[in-house]
Amino acid sequence: MKEVFQTLPHKELQDAHNMVLIDTCFFIHTFEHQKDHLLRELAERFDVGMTTFNAEEFLFKEHVVDERVREYARKFLKTHPITLITIDVHPGNRESEKRFVNNIDPDLLCEVPDASDAVLMAVAIKTDSTILTKDKHHLFTVKLENYIHKYNLEVYKEYHDVLSQAQDL
């Protein structure tokens, strides 16, 4: 799977704008529940991506993800590549995660206490992007929704929420 991620198109953080960012748990959920057709539809309407941080998280969790899910994800990415946003922070290094987040928004860790979850939100802030996540504990909260309102950002937990946004445009 690592080689598949390496072949995906990459963008540097400063070159990424107005994307739909997929959280690791959402990415896994997509293939566990065979919703890849919705990811394909989303990618037809938006610039969809993951951070290299989230790709590394997936690779770290890969051994606990069902082989069928890994195969669905592999096949999907080979035929429908999404963009990887290159960032210089890696899962498991709490201090670098905190530094990365603090460089983008020093107050964000007060709203998202888990630095690894805050990394994706910091990228969304920096790139003016929407997030798709299943992380109800840290990223899909009313407190965070109120906080990110100042950035005019959205965090969704379902494909149809973002797809209906496309119809409103």
In order of 101, 110, 129, the CA distances from 11 in angstroms are: 19, 28, 14
Of all helices (H) and strands (E), which one includes residue 48?
A: strand 48-51
Rounded distance, CA 73 to CA 120, Å?
A: 20
Q: How would DSSP label each residue in 62-124?
A: GGGS-HHHHHHHHHHHHHSPPEEEE-S--TT-HHHHHHHHHHH-TTHHHH---HHHHHHHHHH
What is residue 134's predicted lDDT score, i.e. its pLDDT? 87
What is residue 149's predicted lDDT score, i.e. its pLDDT? 86
The CATH class for the domain spanning 2-168 reads alpha beta
* Contact in structure between 135 and 23 (CB atoms under 8 Å): yes
The pTM (predicted TM-score) of the whole model is 0.92
Q: In a structure prediction context, what are the per-residue pLDDT tens digits for the chain, which is 169 residues long?
A: 999 999 999 999 999 999 999 999 999 999 999 999 999 999 999 999 999 999 999 999 877 889 999 999 999 999 999 999 999 999 999 999 999 999 999 999 988 888 988 999 999 999 999 999 987 655 656 677 778 889 998 888 899 989 887 554 4
What is residue 169's predicted lDDT score, i.e. its pLDDT? 43
Q: Where are the domains of the chain?
A: 2-168
CA angle 131, 116, 35 (to 5 degrees): 40
